[in-house]
């Protein structure tokens, strides 16, 4: 089949009409290979950012929208939206819930010009039947219901506001693997994930927070977790 096709090309090339057809063919091929154009949105503060246009440099082949939503006690703590040219592997969905703070990462990627006009959604779904242990101060015997894509239990330690605290809760596979785990592991020490209900129940490493369970301490801890996850998600989405 390939030899037959090649023979036809040679015949066409020997005529003016053939040259004309070849020119049209190659023009179409090169036209289809032009770079993608996407909306770009890089917030500089807490408010919404304004879309600008950008041409995607190689090897970025998709337009992406990223949303990172953090909440505590049912109240939104931060809601960050980003838009940019991305590679397919930069598109991510994940969720981390350690009781005092839940952070949801959602991205939406597409392959046509300016297809990332709409922001990514913030929802990950309701309870999925899985349970994990969680911590309140130095007590890590509490249980919580995992939601949406949270299919792992997580344990880690974080230095927040001069206090060493243990974190336990629910997480998604994307939080517990690949570059996300590698980057989070630099901020959350001794970070481990496991599968199975209540599999993170080893309470030997209780946090020594010096009794700092007041409101100001809790706010520092929540903000530290939210900023850490947000920074990692943005780093991976933009690099």
Q: Give the pLDDT confidence score for residue 133 in this predicted structure.
A: 97
Per-residue pLDDT of the chain (239 residues; tens, 9 = 90+): 433 434 443 443 344 333 343 333 333 334 444 589 999 998 876 667 789 999 999 889 999 999 999 888 878 888 889 999 999 988 888 999 998 889 999 999 999 999 999 989 887 678 999 999 999 888 999 999 999 999 999 999 887 667 778 899 999 999 998 888 888 887 788 899 999 999 999 754 444 333 444 444 556 566 777 777 878 888 777 77
Q: Give the pLDDT confidence score for residue 34 in this predicted structure.
A: 58
The separation between CA 96 and the C-alpha centre of its own chain, rounded to angstroms, equals 11
Q: Give the pLDDT confidence score for residue 217 in this predicted structure.
A: 53
Structural domains in the chain?
A: 2-32 (no CATH), 37-238 (2.10.60.10)
Q: Give the pLDDT confidence score for residue 238 in this predicted structure.
A: 77
């Amino acid at each position: 089949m390939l030899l037959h096709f090649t023979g036809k090309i040679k015949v066409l090339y020997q005529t003016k009409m053939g040259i004309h057809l070849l020119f049209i063919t190659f023009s179409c091929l090169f036209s289809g290979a032009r770079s993608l154009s996407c909306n770009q949105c890089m917030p500089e503060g807490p408010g919404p950012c304004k879309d600008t246009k950008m041409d995607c440099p190689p090897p970025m082949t998709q337009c992406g929208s990223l949303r990172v939503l953090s909440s505590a006690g049912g109240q939104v703590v931060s809601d960050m939206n980003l838009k940019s040219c991305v590679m397919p592997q930069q598109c991510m969905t994940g969720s981390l819930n350690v009781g005092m703070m839940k952070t949801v990462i959602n991205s939406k990627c597409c392959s046509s010009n300016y297809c990332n006009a709409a922001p990514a959604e913030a929802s990950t779904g309701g309870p999925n039947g899985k349970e994990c242990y969680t911590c309140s101060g130095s007590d890590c015997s509490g249980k919580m219901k995992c939601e949406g894509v949270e299919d792992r239990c997580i344990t880690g330690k974080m230095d927040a506001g001069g206090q060493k605290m243990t974190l336990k809760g629910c997480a998604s596979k994307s939080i517990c693997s690949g570059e996300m785990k590698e980057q989070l592991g630099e901020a959350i020490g001794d970070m481990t994930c496991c599968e199975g209900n209540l599999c993170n129940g080893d309470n030997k490493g209780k946090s020594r927070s010096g009794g700092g369970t007041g409101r100001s301490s809790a706010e520092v801890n929540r903000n530290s977790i939210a900023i850490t996850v947000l920074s990692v998600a943005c780093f991976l989405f933009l690099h």
